[in-house]
Chain A
Amino acid sequence: MAEKKQRWALEGTRVIDLTWLLAGPGGTRILATLGAEVIRVECRDARAVDFLRYTPPFPRKDPGAPVQDLGMLAGTPANGFNRSGNFNNINPGKFGITLNLNHPKGRDLLRRLVAKAHVLCENFSPERMDQWRVGYDALRRVNPALIYVQTTGMGKAGVYRDYAGYGPTAQALSGLTAMSGLPEPRQPAGWGYSYLDHSPGYYSSMMIIAALMRQRRTGQGCYIDLSQTEIGILLSGAATLKYQLDGQPTGRHGNRMPFAPWAPHGAFPCRGDDEWIAIAVQDDPQWAALAAEIGSWALDDRFAQASGRKANEEEIERRLAGWTAQHDSYDLTARLQARGVPAGPAQKSADRFTRDPQLKARDYFVTLPHSELGEWPLDGFPARMSASPACVGGRANRGAPILGEDNERIYRDILGIGASELRALMEEGAV
């Protein structure tokens, strides 16, 4: 039987991708997954290569090899540019070329590529592209319908335009760090990863696709100055509204539910080292089901109704923790779920990868080839689309490109640059 032809949601879309780290490349990953031709444009110079290209984790020689130190200091160009698993996970499905924007011919090549593309994405510091004279105002002369996306910590327009920001900077400023953790006087727990480096990808991709539809309809381009901190503010729920109405500062609530009479509501210890189960009781029948499983103290009338559970939340949490600690988190999840109680283990990476039956059944992890690393499983895409399936390997049908992997094909097919001209450009340092 002939293989069914892949149909892409973003058929016919070309994206010039100058992004690095995660805040920019996360978005172009999504575009590649949906079928855009994403051309990752990188500089060969070790000082300008995406830091993630040479930062661990690297594949272990064999599964028995010692676990690596993943400290930031382990990121050095001496590691090579094509061995990072994290980079592979962030950049699958993209084509890769090299181009030097510090070289006049490199900038010329970029202008020629942009003339034949629909979208350009970058996340340099706010003024960098203008300094190279390839900012939005320069490039729209080359391509008036261009969709130009610039992702920065604060946003380019505004009084913090010169401020620097990583994901955690944006989390702190936006309010997301302050909202996470146990109540004062405990300090915030914040986030154990860069949530606001993931989030820009969702917004850049959705805005780019909306802009593509408008571009097709009107011929009009778009400039998108995307701010990681603003995304954090958007994700702060109703906190700012409440403050405007009652003037009370936004607090932290640990794992408790401040917005509904749900109790108990938290993570409770289980058998083993640092194993936990999350339990969220939303109503009296769920509590009755949980209490029947526990017996003894849980059958106390004081706890039968939500108001009583809220009033005695600390006592319930303490007793519940004593009970859960005797059990395995997965066994307990099965028992509680059988009674209709929302519960689930706090899964660590190893649990999700090796144990989670749901991710397995839905083929969440996608194994793709990488030209230097071989085949590796990558994070999948959480939406199944019936007519234009998302496909993490994209048009390239592989993991991340090695540095300059597609130079020959891209420069030839898009710009008509032959092998000898390409060689000369490389010798000059333009490519």
Chain B
Amino acid sequence: MSARISPLTDALDGYVVLETGDERGEFAGLLLAGLGAEVIRVEPPDGAPSRRLGPFAGDVPDPEQSLHFWRYNLNKKGLRLNLGNPEGHRVFARLAARADVILDSGEAGAVERRRALHRSGRDLNPRLIVCTITPFGMSGPWRDLKATDLTQLAMGGIMAVCGYDRGADGKYDTPPIAPAPWHSYHLGSEYAAVSITAALNFRELTGEGQEIDVSIHEAVNTCTEHAMPSYIYAGSVVRRQTARHAASSISPPWLRPSADGVYVNAILAPTEREFRAFVRLLDECDIAHDFNAEAFADASKRGRREAQNAIYAALDRLVASMPAEEVFRRSQALGLAWAPVRRPEENLGDPHFQRRGSFAAIGHPELGRELLYPASVATDGENPHFGYGRRAPHLGEHTDEVLARAGFSADEIATLHAADVV
């Protein structure tokens, strides 16, 4: 066979990305770096704003100890550059002349102020791709609204479909809940990474660069599954329910506690195959039930409330009869797509994810140890497609190296240091 299989960790080899901006775009840079691009994280003299986000190693709020910054800047090179200084602009333009992509993020006003920088890069280098990630995009009446991850998840529609069931009186007694921080930035960055990769492909075909305007608000809006079509086609506004799809009518719960108190996501899909597997698991585990298993194999016969109650009571007893990880193994052995609600760290030692290279061991010489980072989402059968080997840079760690590779002489670099430009 002629074709070799190998991971995509070299797919973007040779492409240089200059990344400015804040925490909104760092995940995009991380994804491009994992596919082989050289990503240069350009930080202001006092460091990227994301260095002030926790959690912090040792709970010390120090810009070099931000685990947030560590996590989102693997493999990147660190360049400290004062863009508030005209000489800083000239340095940036020289870097942009040999770069392939400028990735910028932040509030639209801040990004607008850097437009001159982007333009000078495009003037020198028409093949350059400039991608901006902003809360609402670079146009429109909400362009300059103040936004955080929380307000974006609210306005973009994810929050309204996430949270807890209504109380006994049919009214919500808890607010909509943003499902853990940073997902609006994940979404904006994912679309940015897709668009940048597509723009690189276009450039390979045509030689032309371009500008890409990513709106986090729109990215969040794409991601609420059937909520939007339910309204557009059927006029139905879906309402939130605990840990299951927001819906126009109340559906049976999916999470139920196991014997060790850990919740299990146990879904009974309306198929005969899954129902028979469920009944078999009840039998195997000696869980008594008082419904007519043969008649209910046909999902359309399970509609009545008493039938549902009997089925779900048995399901509750089944899950409560053993530890969550045992429910996982035994249900999956019968083809049921159930899983325990694990905390993220509980996957660190799981042989499945070890085999797949889901986590990358990254050396931290200052700590004298390695840390496992979530790293890849796919393999080529043997090796992970996203490759990470280097911890996030210290502020300015690669300044001299980056400048030297861009053709700055040792004297020039020394002068820039002396003037506090870099």
Contacts and interface: CB of A to CB of B under 8 A. Distances in A.
Interface string A121-159: 000000000000000000011001110000001111111
B352 A158 contact: yes
A189 B231 contact: no
Given A193-B224, A241-B371, A224 B378 contact: yes
Contact of B355 (A157, A194, A280, A350): A157
B375 interface: yes
Interface in B193-209: 193-195, 197-202, 204-206, 208-209
Given A189-B164, A255-B178, A158 B353 contact: yes
A296 interface: no
Contacts of B240: 192
Interface string A301-334: 0000000000000000000000000000000000
Interface string B307-348: 000000000000000000000000010011111111111111
Interface SS of B by simple majority: mixed
Nearest to A377: B232
A4 interface: no
B11 interface: yes
B54 interface: yes
Given A213-B11, A348-B157, A385-B195, 7 more contacts: A86-B230, A141-B1, A181-B163, A193-B225, A240-B374, A249-B345, A364-B221
B225 A226 contact: no
A91 to B, nearest CB: 12
Given A244-B348, A278-B159, A344-B147, A216 B226 contact: no
Interface string B262-284: 01110101100000000000000
Nearest to B197: A209
B375 A234 contact: yes
A6 interface: no
B146 A144 contact: no
A236 interface: yes
Interface string A95-119: 0000000000000000000000000
Nearest to B6: A220
A381 B222 CA distance: 8
- Highest count of chain A CB atoms <10 Å: which of B148, B267, B380: B148
Interface residues of B, number: 168
A276 B154 contact: yes
Contact of B232 (A156, A274, A376): A376
A228 to B, nearest CB: 8
Interface stretch (B75-83, B135-143, B410-418): B135-143
B55 A242 contact: yes
B53 A382 contact: no
B85 interface: no
B251 interface: yes
Nearest to B9: A210
A30 B197 CA distance: 12
Contacts of A222: 5-6, 8, 380
A206 B197 contact: yes
Interface string B125-159: 00000010000110111110111111111111101
Interface in A226-279: 226-227, 230-231, 233-246, 249-250, 252-255, 257-260, 262, 265-269, 274, 276-279
Given A154-B352, A216-B204, A282 B148 contact: yes
4 smallest CB-CB distances across A and B, nearest first, come from A175-B344, A190-B243, A85-B233, A382-B218
B407 interface: no
Contacts of A39: none
Interface stretch (B63-71, B89-97, B396-404): B63-71
Contacts of B373: 240-241
B254 A168 contact: yes
A202 interface: yes
B381 A223 contact: yes
Interface string A9-48: 1111000000000100000001000100000000000000
Contacts of A230: 353, 356, 358, 376-378
A260 B181 CA distance: 11
Contacts of A244: 345, 348, 371-372
B249 A70 contact: yes
A417 interface: no
A140 to B, nearest CB: 6
Contacts of B137: 358, 362, 384
Contact of B181 (A22, A154, A189, A257): A257
B157 A362 contact: no
Nearest to A224: B378
Contact of B231 (A240, A349, A357): A349
Contacts of B171: 274
B342 A269 contact: no
Contacts of A176: 179-180, 344
A385 B157 contact: no
Contacts of A186: 164
